[in-house]
Amino acid sequence: MKYLITESQLDKFIFKYINLKRFIQIKKYDSIYFAYSENDQYAQIKFDKGGWCFIEYDLIKEISSFFSLQPYASERVIGRWVENTLQMKVTNTLKGFVKNYKRLRIPN
């Protein structure tokens, strides 16, 4: 049996999944970092108030795998989650690996 799920229904499922991660928001300068705890050195997601959203690749891969999506589609839905959570417009998304992705490093 096949089920048809609309994009907005899929977004709701994925938003709930991301919310289960219980990210905390850390505001530094003109950026908002989504991390697991205050002690994390790197964020999973960073939103610059200019509209840029930087996403850790392992999070994209996790969403892609769990929901059977292409990485690009996962990147876009995470961007929509950020928009929905912050009530701010995401104009661009970029992915990267935490260990060598300085943009996701949370400043002291």
From first to last of the 108 residues of the chain, give the pLDDT tens digit: 777 888 889 999 999 999 999 999 999 999 999 999 999 999 999 999 899 999 999 999 999 999 999 999 999 999 999 999 999 999 999 887 655 567 788 988
Distances (CA, A) of 8 to 4, 77, 91: 12, 10, 19
Instruction: Provide the pLDDT for residue 5.
Output: 82
Instruction: Provide the pLDDT for residue 91.
Output: 95
**Residue 13 corresponds to which tokens in the numbers above?**
């499922």
Q: Can you spell out the DSSP letters for 31-98?
A: EEEEESSTT-SB-SEEEETTSEEEEEHHHHHHHHHHHT--HHHHHHHHHHHHHHHHTS---EEEEE-G
What pTM was computed for the model?
Answer: 0.89
Instruction: Provide the pLDDT for residue 98.
Output: 54
